[in-house]
Chain A
Amino acid sequence: MEVEVIKGLKFQKKQDVAIVGAGMTSFKRRLNETGRELNYYAVRQALEEAGLTIDDVEIVVLGSAPDAFDGVHMKEEYLSDGAGGFDRPYMRYFVGGGTAVFAPIAGYFHVASGLADVCLVVCEEKMSSCHPHPQSAFKYIWDFFLDRPLKPNLIWIFALEMRRYMHVNNVKHEDIALVSVKNKANALDHPCSHVAEKITVEDVLNSEPMALPVRRLDVSPPSDGAAALVMVAAHKARHLTDEPVWVTGVGWSLDTTWWTNRDLYYPRYAAESAKMAYKMAHITDPRKQIDVVEPYDPFDYKELHHLEGLGFAKKGEAPILTKEGVTQRDGDLPVCPSGGLLGVGNPISAAMGVKACEIYWQLSYRAGKRQVAKEVSTGLCQAWGDLMQISTVMIMSNKR
Chain B
Amino acid sequence: MFKKMTTQPVPDTTGQLKTLLRSLRRYAESDGCWYSISLGPLALILLLLTILPIIWLGWMALHDINWQDGVSHWEYVGLNNVVLFFDNHFYWPGLLNTFIFSISAVSVQMVLGFLMALVVSRSDRKSRLFLTVVFLLPIVLPPIVIGAIWKLMLSYDFGVINDFLGLLGIAPVDWLGNADIALMSVIAVDIWHWTPFVFLLMLAGLESLPQEVYEASSLDVRNAWQEFWYITLPLMQGTILITLLFRMVLSFKVFDEIYLLTGGGPGTATEVVSFSIYRTFFTEDRAGLGAVMSIFTLLVVAALAVFAQLLLKRRKQS
Answer yes or no: do A and B interact. Answer: no
Q: Using a CB–CB distance below 8 Å, which chain B residues touch chain A?
A: none
